[in-house]
Amino acid sequence: MTGQRLFRVAAAAVVLCVVVLMPHLLGAYYLSLLTESILFAIAALSLDLVWGYTGVPDLGHALWFGTGALAVGMMTTNVDSFGLVHLVHSGLGTYVAGIAIGMAAAGAVALVVGLASFSQGESDPFYIAIVTLALTVIAGTVYSQESKWTGGDNGLFGFAYHGFSGDTWYYISAALLVLVAGGALVLVRSDFGLVMRAIRDNERRIRFFGTNVEAAKIGVFVLGAVLSALAGGVYASIVGFVSAPLFGFLFSTQMVIWVAVGGRGTILGPIIGAIGLSFVTSKLSASYPTQWAFFLGLLFVAVVVFVPDGVFPPLVRQGRGLVHRRRPPRLSRNFVAATPARPELRPKGEPVCVVSEVKFAYGALEVLRGVDFEIKAGELLCIVGPNGAGKSTMLNVLTDGKLPADGSISFFVHHGEVVRKGRPIHAIARGGIARKFQIPHLFDSLTVAETILLASRKGRIPSLWRRTREIPVGRSVHEILEATGLEGREDTPSPALAHGLKQGLELAAATSVRPELLLLDEPTAGLTSNERHVIGDVFRRLVEAGMTIVLIEHDLDFVARVADRVIVLHGGKVVESGTPAEVSESVVVREAYVGTAVT
């Protein structure tokens, strides 16, 4: 057992003892305070999953906590016509049912909000923040008006469950926190946890791996709401009080502050932040409510601006150590085929993609003016053309059915014909089409191996609790890693890679999707000539194994060596097509690249 491991076990044992003995160490007042802050910690943790890990800024997280609390209040009380609150049910079953109903209601509302707010295409990242903020502001006003159910401005009160002692409530809350934190830890360490962080880091890129980003976001958003409602329901059962502020703006802000100060994207941080700050708050807000809220706001701004990772970096690092598995994922040496052999795979020479009369414009700038070409199964097609010819735009239009382009594009892959139009990026990617970008777009918090793991998942629903240890990849992925110098750097975080290595990782990731059609935008830019040579051989072998590759390339020597066929894009049209030799003889190409000779 290493020293660090020993330290961790010892620390855990000490923490456990303190947790168990706490009722004997604290008086009744502080114990109830601690119990409340433990429930706040659960809410903070649920917000952290949504915002810290998945990058969805839920500024109205109190809404869900309040919903849980209100459900318990409504189940156990009755408001008479004079506006007086009467306790009507006090059995434990009613409270449990109230909590369950609150969780279900919060989940349902969150589902509706999520479905309405997370749309495919280019929705603004601020959007969900504004919607949740607006909801929490409105919930406050509505609460005070609908007094028949909510008790109005006074709220509902006097419905605390008296069947448990303070000690029992403390143990129940602590057990819940342990359960939620344990569950969250398993979740963020799973394959799905990788997807969550990838969405936070680079939402657009992971769509091209076939991940349904909206579904994942909605799932996490609902989970966060349900967990927050659980905390709210238990909280209301203990204190027997619910009112508008539990839904409101200020409480939502406090939750965000707990997570921000404690450290977003960690498990321990929000727990420490919530418990620590709510202890201080309850001490100070009694005598200095305004001043304390003022300083809390200042603290929050300072944390966001200067220490965005939170104020407990050493603890955060411990937390990170737990998140990254002791055994990180490895690329399997039992190679799989470069592209899955399917009986329905198109025979060599038949078209896998037909592009006809495609037009696309950025505002008034017409980039594609009626592009026609075919991609044939099992060929390596190079698209060449001067800068601004529309090559990268062509790939964008191919892979994103939501872009408004005229003309038609059909793919014949995987399950027969796929029409591009209207299909979101991830659906096209799942059809067996992978893409590498001209400029590397990677994930800031993911290592090389984790990036390849995500790509190799091909958008299949990832496990919520298991982390893949051995990534099934084709031999070509190893060859690319070796050729570009990434071998042995599987655990390097991708922002730490040099430009050439990032290019290599992009290429390896796109290849590890094991696509039927691989679209590569300048895959050899930033590589040395020796590396290019090796990569060229890898491409040839992939094509021989049955993959279809489209390459955008400027280096005509490289093109001549690897391509089966070349098309020339110039001024938004295909102006030339043929074998590399034919095309390089062409006058049009020479004019496009070099200009016209003056005679």
Residues forming contacts to another protein in the complex (CB under 8 A) are: 55, 57, 59, 116-117, 119, 121-127, 129-131, 133-135, 137-138, 141-142, 145-146, 249-250, 253, 256-257, 260, 290-291, 293-294, 296-298, 300-301, 304-305, 308, 361, 363-364
CB nearer to another protein: pick between 35 and 445: 445
Residue 372 near residue 398, CB atoms below 8 Å: no
Cβ neighbourhood burial of 298 (10 Å; 0-12, 13-18, 19+): exposed
CB nearer to another protein: pick between 31 and 50: 50
Min dist CB 117 to another protein, Å, is 6
Min dist CB 299 to another protein, Å, is 8
The H helix count followed by the E strand count for the chain is 23, 16
CB nearer to another protein: pick between 10 and 134: 134
CB nearer to another protein: pick between 294 and 465: 294
The residues with which 552 forms a beta bridge, in sequence order, are 383, 521
CB nearer to another protein: pick between 119 and 356: 119
What count of other Cβ atoms lies within 10 Å of the Cβ of residue 492? 15
CB nearer to another protein: pick between 22 and 131: 131
Min dist CB 245 to another protein, Å, is 12
- Total residues found in the chain within this entry: 599
Min dist CB 140 to another protein, Å, is 9
Min dist CB 278 to another protein, Å, is 16
CB nearer to another protein: pick between 444 and 470: 444
Residue 566 near residue 577, CB atoms below 8 Å: yes
Min dist CB 138 to another protein, Å, is 5
DSSP string, 13-44: HHHHHHHHHHHHHS-HHHHHHHHHHHHHHHHH
Min dist CB 122 to another protein, Å, is 6
CB nearer to another protein: pick between 119 and 528: 119
Min dist CB 33 to another protein, Å, is 23
Min dist CB 121 to another protein, Å, is 5
Record the tokens describing residue 505, joined without a space.
């990782």
Residue 50 near residue 220, CB atoms below 8 Å: yes
Min dist CB 72 to another protein, Å, is 23
- The sheet with strand 573-578 has its strands ordered as 433-436, 517-521, 548-552, 380-384, 565-570, 573-578
- Buried b / exposed e over 49-73, threshold 16 CB at 10 Å, is bbbbbbbbbbbbbbbbbbbbbbbbb
CB nearer to another protein: pick between 202 and 511: 202
CA 510, 512, 518, 524 torsion-angle sign: positive
Min dist CB 83 to another protein, Å, is 17
Record the tokens describing residue 420, joined without a space.
């591009």
Min dist CB 264 to another protein, Å, is 10
CB nearer to another protein: pick between 249 and 335: 249
What count of other Cβ atoms lies within 10 Å of the Cβ of residue 421? 14
**CA–CA gap between residue 480 and residue 332 (Å, rounded):** 14
Residue 61 near residue 245, CB atoms below 8 Å: no
DSSP string, 116-160: HH--SS---TTHHHHHHHHHHHHHHHHHHH-HHHH-GGG-EES--
CB nearer to another protein: pick between 259 and 589: 259
CB nearer to another protein: pick between 309 and 564: 309
3-state secondary structure 150-219: HCHHHCEECCCCCCCCHHHHHHHHHHHHHHHHHHHHHHHHCHHHHHHHHHHHCHHHHHCCCCCHHHHHHH
CB nearer to another protein: pick between 109 and 172: 109
Q: How far is CA 167 from CA 18, 47, 163, 176, 537, in A?
A: 14, 27, 12, 14, 69
Which among 63, 364, 102, 422 has a CA at the least distance from the CA of 230? 102
Min dist CB 133 to another protein, Å, is 6
Residue written as token pair 């042995």: 488
